Amino acid sequence: MIPIGFIEFGIKDLLETLVIALVLYYLYRWIRGTFAIQAALGLLFIILLNAGVGLLGFTTLNFLLRSVLDVGVLAVFIIFQPEIRKLLYNLGQNTSLDRFLGRTGSVDMVSEVIEAVRNMAQTKTGALIVFARTSSLQDLVDVGVKLDARVNASLLQTIFQKDTPLHDGAVIIRNNRIVAASCYLPISQNPNISSVFGTRHRAAVGISETNNVFVVVVSEETGRISIAKNGALSSGLSIQKLRSEMEASLGEVKEEGVGFSAEKADLEMN
């Protein structure tokens, strides 16, 4: 124990301080650039104001601010709910079990999807295809139009054919089966997504932020092929690149290709 003034500071305290500092640092990195950072700054401002008001002896103001802070803990969980989900998802992913369970693709399925995407890109048919890996996405399936069909290029192209009842929304593929169409996905609130991308692409990013999924998007406007995983969008993929990305994330391929990389550096957001 080292005495600092009247405080005794030991190895245990040092370790505790380091752990808290590390947690705060990673939390900051995690919410940096999102709406949550504004909310966090707001909360910090109220805490500092409350401390100042307390020191100056303004009892009524102090009481009011303390009342606001009393509900602060609950508010934090409500305000940061998307970030907390994201954090827990990231903690849980890339574990050995996740890797084992995540191998949901088959060579046949990948080829059928690639063929459909190639044709839809050429004809500029908008498409949004979500591959559920370890996430079941059952809540989304339940509100979509339930199907149970083998993955087939013609079927996918038919589903996304404009002016047909099922073309709006996303197709969900789980365990090599098309389990639902016309599914509504959560839209990403990430401010870093370029404004050239509309709701289809934002929905692709949104679902990949909090679920272990791989998403393929075909733009109706440009025919451009994009993928989303781990909350990041990569756009303008060639068919060859799409195949390698799908094989790496879904196919029965070499071990190092399985599971998502935590690195987002090669995934452009604009």
Ligand X SMILES: Nc1ncnc2c1ncn2[C@@H]1O[C@H](COP(=O)(O)OP(=O)(O)OP(=O)(O)O)[C@@H](O)[C@H]1O
Which of 84, 89, 99, 126 lies at the binding interface for ligand X (CB under 6 A)? 126
| Other Cβ atoms closer than 10 A to 165 | 9
- To 5 degrees, how large is the angle CA 104–CA 106–CA 109? 105
Q: Judged by CB under 6 A, does residue 197 bind ligand X?
A: yes
CB of 140 to ligand X, least distance (A): 9
d(CA 82, CA 28): 15
Helix locations, 32-95, DSSP H: 35-56, 59-70, 72-79, 81-92
Q: Judged by CB under 6 A, does residue 128 bind ligand X?
A: yes
Q: Judged by CB under 6 A, does residue 170 bind ligand X?
A: yes
Identify which range of 15-23, 66-74, 180-188, 235-243 contacts ligand X by CB under 6 A.
180-188
Count of chain residues binding ligand X (CB under 6 A): 17
Residue number, 115 or 168, with CB nearest to ligand X: 168
CB of 175 to ligand X, least distance (A): 21
CB 219 within 8 A of CB 200: yes
Which of 34, 188, 219, 249 lies at the binding interface for ligand X (CB under 6 A)? 219
Is the torsion defined by CA of 21, 23, 26, 30 positive or negative? negative
Instruction: Name the residues that contact ligand X, by CB under 6 A.
Output: 126, 128, 168-170, 184-185, 187, 197-201, 203, 219-221
